[in-house]
Amino acid sequence: MEIPATSSPEVTQIKLIQYKRASLLAQITIFYNLIEGMVSVFFGVADETLSLFGFGIDSFVEVLSGIGIWNMVRRMRDNPKADTGPFEKKALQITGTAFYILAAGLVITAGVSLYQCHRPETTFWGIVIAAISIFTMWVLINFKVKVGRQLSSDAILEDANCTKACLYLSFTLLLASVGFELTGIGGIDSIGAIIIAVFSFREGRESFEKARGESCHCDLPKSS
């Protein structure tokens, strides 16, 4: 449902509800990724699993995006008549920076894995964490797209793209973890990680383009 172009009390109340939803989604993103990051880094170090360790670092990058969106939504809610352009521009720049950090982290992780021909002790926890993350990210993406379109917020939609990158990364971690358990090849996830890095770099570039007012070719799921 798109918000009508009026300023009636009913419409104002709808906007406030949607701002609350957007804020809640940002908070869930922050706290979930903090927990996921800490757990992933712990087991990544304990099992000497570079892909899981890198996945944990990427979760902390998602926290950065969530903080930017949360701050933007809070300011928009508290200042409904203010020009929201600067808020969204700043949030887009934060999200774009998060994408670039994500891409760099993936390339470094994949490079170290290939160079050392590293073999983890086990990837069991990678399978468990990836499966949980896939479900959680899928739910968050759909809710963020719905709220972002209702508020006509490019920043929230771009944050959904950031979550989408983490969804793809979760699939990569799952395939890499299962692949190692089946084959014993330690660097099986490196090519997939590099592909995700390229995707993340592209999304980061589009975030900055959108912040400059240029067109963005976002690929988001449809939302009713």
Q: Which domain holds residue 132?
A: 9-211
Q: Is residue 222 part of a domain?
A: no
Of 9-18, 89-98, 161-170, give the lowest mean pLDDT range: 9-18
Q: Is residue 56 part of a domain?
A: yes
Q: Is residue 4 part of a domain?
A: no
> For the segment 107-140, what is each residue's pLDDT rounded down to a tens digit?
887 887 788 777 777 889 989 999 999 999 999 9
User: What is the value of pTM for the model shown?
Assistant: 0.74
CA distances to 95, 120, 129, 141, 216 from 136, in Å: 19, 26, 11, 9, 26
pLDDT band at 6 (very low <50, low <70, confident <90, very high): very low
Q: Is residue 3 part of a domain?
A: no
Q: Is residue 18 part of a domain?
A: yes
Contact 118, 187 (CB under 8 A): yes
Q: Is residue 218 part of a domain?
A: no
Q: Is residue 72 part of a domain?
A: yes
Contact 12, 42 (CB under 8 A): no
Give the closest residue to 3 by CA, choosing from 126, 114, 156, 146: 146
pLDDT band at 9 (very low <50, low <70, confident <90, very high): low
The span from the CA of 163 to the CA of 62, in Å, is: 7
